[in-house]
Amino acid sequence: MSGIDAQQDLFADLGLARAESPTSGTNKATDLGLNTFLKLMVTQLNNQDPFKPMENGDFLGQIAQFGSVTGLEQLNQSFESLASSLTSGQALQAGSLVGREILAPVDSGYLLPGGSLRGQVNLEQSSPQVTLRVIDSVGQLVREMPLGSAPPGALDFAWDGMDNLGNFAPPGRYTVRVEALQNDRGVDLQTKLFSKVESVNLNGSNGLTLNLEGLGPMAFDNIQQIY
């Protein structure tokens, strides 16, 4: 009996049918298919030491290992497909953010010609006096606005873009600071400003990034509210 017939008989004994491929049955150099694995196992049987034959448990162990590898490859392919679907879904959702306003914990914003800056602070306790100060890019005080007393909680504020002399400030980036009088001393509060989303980037390593009007990129994780 030829070696090919012996291999075919062994396949039959194992309950495996070898389908004839119309094309070449050779696997890729980087792949280990079922046929290749069985050929290796048959070769191992033909060349084993007759005084130390391989036990059945060894065969089962090899088959189990091959099954595990095959299962892991299929699982990886499923995860890649899921990741691709999630990325596509995020891209569609991210596109809907363009043109909308977000609230982020930043202390600077970009003033457009004739525009204004709006924001919010959170007070842990009431204050008899809250003061807003706007500072330009060189550190000069542009506007000081008393906001009056405020209870605990969120306090909205807005700067109309005018300086202390009643003139419109030039367009550019300005820093907004809010100070609250608490227990007879001034306390700086965390400023959150509204900004407009100009575009979005979806990178694999950096995740979703929003490009804010006049401010540049900001990670989506830093966004607190979307309007």
In angstroms, rounded to a whole number, what is the distance separating the alpha carbons of residues 100 and 196?
6
* pLDDT at residue 204 tops 70: no
User: Tens digits of per-residue pLDDT, 112-167?
Assistant: 998 999 999 999 999 999 999 999 999 999 999 999 999 999 999 999 999 999 99
In angstroms, rounded to a whole number, what is the distance separating the alpha carbons of residues 200 and 216?
11
Contact in structure between 210 and 97 (CB atoms under 8 Å): yes
Task: Give this prediction's pTM.
Answer: 0.58
Instruction: At 46, give phi and psi (nearest 5°).
Output: -65, -25
User: Tens digits of per-residue pLDDT, 70-106?
Assistant: 666 677 777 776 666 566 666 666 678 888 889 999 9
In order, the DSSP letters of 112-164 are PTT--EEEEEEESS-EEEEEEEEE-TTS-EEEEEEEEEE-SEEEEEEE-SB-T
Q: Which domains does the chain have, with CATH numbers?
A: 3-94 (no CATH), 101-226 (2.60.40.4070)
In whole numbers, what is the pLDDT of the chain averaged over residues?
Answer: 78
193, two tokens = 């400003």
User: Tens digits of per-residue pLDDT, 175-189?
Assistant: 999 999 998 899 999
